[in-house]
């Protein structure tokens, strides 16, 4: 559940859908180490305070990588008791006309605390939670005001389809500093349990570039959902007793 179209999804993954798009046939590597006071994905909290290291590889229009969630404490949550997670992802992203880009790919989610085997796709652990799962995705984005994007995700084990739209913008403060913000709204259709729900996310970060290849950021996030019949604000974090959906995060990244 890596980064999404936004830094808030941290993920992502979030973001699983925020992948590099290169026009030249060159190989690049980007490493990131993040700290988040909560790990929230699509309106559901999976862990408390966590470290989130990751690596992104790209060659031309192809990309892939790995992302980890490593909880600092031992708090258990409904989604994934223990909170440890390893995601592997790969995809292809390219520009269609200089303004519109498309992105297709696949993400393999694994949960070391619960899985019986790394390659046990579709195998549940008895309670239907935490088994490895495979998700494909496709999306389009536009290089225009607020950089709008729209993605569709299909999870094969949990039989869910997710529709997510997002916007983001970076406002320069100085030569090396910028204010970055973004937001996303998504809807999850659960074909199995019928537990469809709406979620939202937002982020605001101050980023500083040490060099052309190294940067740091710190900021606030918000995530919410209408799970359990509430609103995006009232039922902000599903699977917990918390009434507030705000948390913070910071990250360091470098590329070569």
**What is the chain's mean pLDDT, rounded?**
83
Q: Note whether residue 178 is domain-resident.
A: yes
- Using the CB atoms, write b or e for 53-70: b if 16+ within 10 Å: ebebebeebbbbbebbbe
pTM of the model: 0.83
Q: Note whether residue 92 is domain-resident.
A: yes
Q: Note whether residue 101 is domain-resident.
A: yes
Q: Is the pLDDT of residue 126 over 50?
A: no
Into how many domains does the chain fold? 1
Q: How confident is the model at residue 9 (pLDDT cuts 50, 70, 90)?
A: very low
All residues at 6 or more sequence positions from 180 whose CB lies less than 8 Å from its CB, including other chains: 7, 168, 169, 170, 171, 203, 204, 205, 206, 207, 217, 219
8 Å CB contact between 216 and 210? yes
Average confidence (pLDDT) over 164-192: 96
Q: Note whether residue 67 is domain-resident.
A: yes
Q: How confident is the model at residue 84 (pLDDT cuts 50, 70, 90)?
A: confident
Neighbour count for residue 116 (Cβ, 10 Å): 11
Closest CA to 198 of 151, 245, 163, 247: 163
> What is the per-residue pLDDT across 127-139, written as a single tens digit (0 to 9) for each?
444 468 899 999 9
Q: How confident is the model at residue 231 (pLDDT cuts 50, 70, 90)?
A: low
> What is the per-residue pLDDT across 92-119, written as a single tens digit (0 to 9) for each?
999 999 999 999 999 999 887 665 566 6
**Residue 170, CB-side half-sphere exposure with 13 Å CA sphere:** 13
- CA gap 217, 208 in Å, rounded: 6
Q: Note whether residue 184 is domain-resident.
A: yes
Return the pLDDT at 193: 79
Query: E strands of the chain, at which residues?
Result: 27-36, 39-41, 44-47, 50-59, 62-71, 85-95, 100-110, 133-142, 149-155, 160-172, 177-190, 197-209, 214-225, 246-255
Neighbour count for residue 88 (Cβ, 10 Å): 16
Degrees (nearest 5) of the Cα angle 213, 256, 96? Answer: 90
Question: For residues 244 and 72, which has the higher predicted lDDT (pLDDT)?
Answer: 72
- CA gap 52, 66 in Å, rounded: 11
Domain that holds residue 243: 27-255
Q: Note whether residue 15 is domain-resident.
A: no
Q: How confident is the model at residue 43 (pLDDT cuts 50, 70, 90)?
A: confident
Check which CATH number belongs to the domain holding 58 and give it: 2.40.230.20
The residues facing 160 across adjacent strands are 155, 190
Q: Note whether residue 9 is domain-resident.
A: no
Q: Is the pLDDT of residue 31 over 90?
A: yes
The proportion of the chain whose per-residue pLDDT surpasses 70, expressed as a percent, equals 73
Q: Note whether residue 4 is domain-resident.
A: no
Q: Is the pLDDT of residue 189 over 80?
A: yes
Q: Phi-psi category of 126—alpha, beta or left, where left has phi over 0 and alpha has psi -120 to 50? A: left
């Amino acid at each position: 559940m890596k980064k999404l179209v936004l830094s808030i999804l941290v993920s992502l993954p979030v973001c699983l859908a925020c992948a590099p798009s290169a026009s030249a046939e060159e190989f690049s590597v980007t490493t990131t180490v993040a700290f988040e006071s909560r790990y929230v994905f699509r309106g559901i909290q999976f862990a408390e305070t966590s470290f989130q290291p990751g690596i992104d590889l790209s060659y031309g229009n192809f990309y892939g990588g790995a992302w980890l969630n490593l909880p600092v404490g031992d708090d258990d949550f409904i989604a994934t008791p223990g909170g440890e997670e390893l995601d592997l992802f790969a995809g292809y992203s390219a520009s269609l006309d200089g303004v519109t880009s498309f992105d297709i790919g696949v993400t393999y989610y694994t949960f070391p605390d619960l899985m019986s085997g790394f390659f046990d796709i579709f195998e549940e652990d008895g309670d239907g939670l935490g088994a490895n799962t495979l998700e494909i995705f496709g999306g389009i984005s536009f290089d225009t005001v607020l950089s709008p994007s729209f993605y569709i995700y299909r999870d094969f084990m949990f039989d869910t389809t997710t529709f997510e739209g997002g916007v983001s913008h970076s406002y320069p403060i100085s030569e090396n500093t910028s204010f970055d913000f973004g937001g996303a709204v998504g809807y999850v259709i659960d074909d199995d349990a019928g537990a469809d729900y709406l979620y939202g996310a937002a982020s605001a970060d101050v980023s500083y570039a040490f060099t052309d290849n190294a940067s740091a950021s710190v900021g606030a996030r918000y995530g919410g959902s209408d799970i359990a019949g509430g609103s995006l604000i009232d039922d902000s974090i599903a699977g917990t007793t918390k009434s507030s959906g705000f948390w913070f995060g910071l990250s360091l990244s470098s590329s070569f």
